[in-house]
Amino acid sequence: MARKPPSRVELLRGTLDLLILRTLLLGPSHGHAIAKHIQRTSEDLLKVETGSLYPALYRLEANGWVAAFWDLSEKGKRARYYRITSLGRRQLVSERSKWEAFTRAMGLLLKPAVEEGR
């Protein structure tokens, strides 16, 4: 079968939080950079909708997993930066292990079906 060009994948519910936290592990960043980073790192497979990114950031902040502060961006403009908190790190660890368990389970379940279909 010919490989289709990579189409964008819809983010699964709840995974956006995980991705944001993971991104912030690299260091404080602002919303736009976070979105770009996720997009780039996933080789453009994942596109973060701006409409869900910002509410998610505020929600994470409300949960105390990230902290926000104002700083100057690389271009010298005022931007709202986010950094992960220790509470956020703990959350990331637990979310990641949940996610890994989930993908493993999905993998186990999906594999035989794929082989049978061959």
Q: Of the ranges 4-12, 17-25, 50-58, 99-107, which one interacts with another protein (CB under 8 A)?
A: 50-58
Q: Least Å distance between CB 8 and another protein?
A: 13
Q: Does 73 bind another protein (CB under 8 A)?
A: yes
Q: Does 49 bind another protein (CB under 8 A)?
A: yes
Nearest 10 degrees: CA dihedral of 30, 34, 35, 41?
160
Report residue 10: phi and psi, to 5°. Answer: -70, 140
Find the binder of another protein among 6, 12, 25, 64 (CB under 8 A): 64
Q: Does 50 bind another protein (CB under 8 A)?
A: yes
Report how many helices (DSSP H) and strands (DSSP E) the chain contains, helices first: 4, 3
Task: Say how many C-beta atoms besides its own lie within 10 A of residue 78's C-beta.
Answer: 10
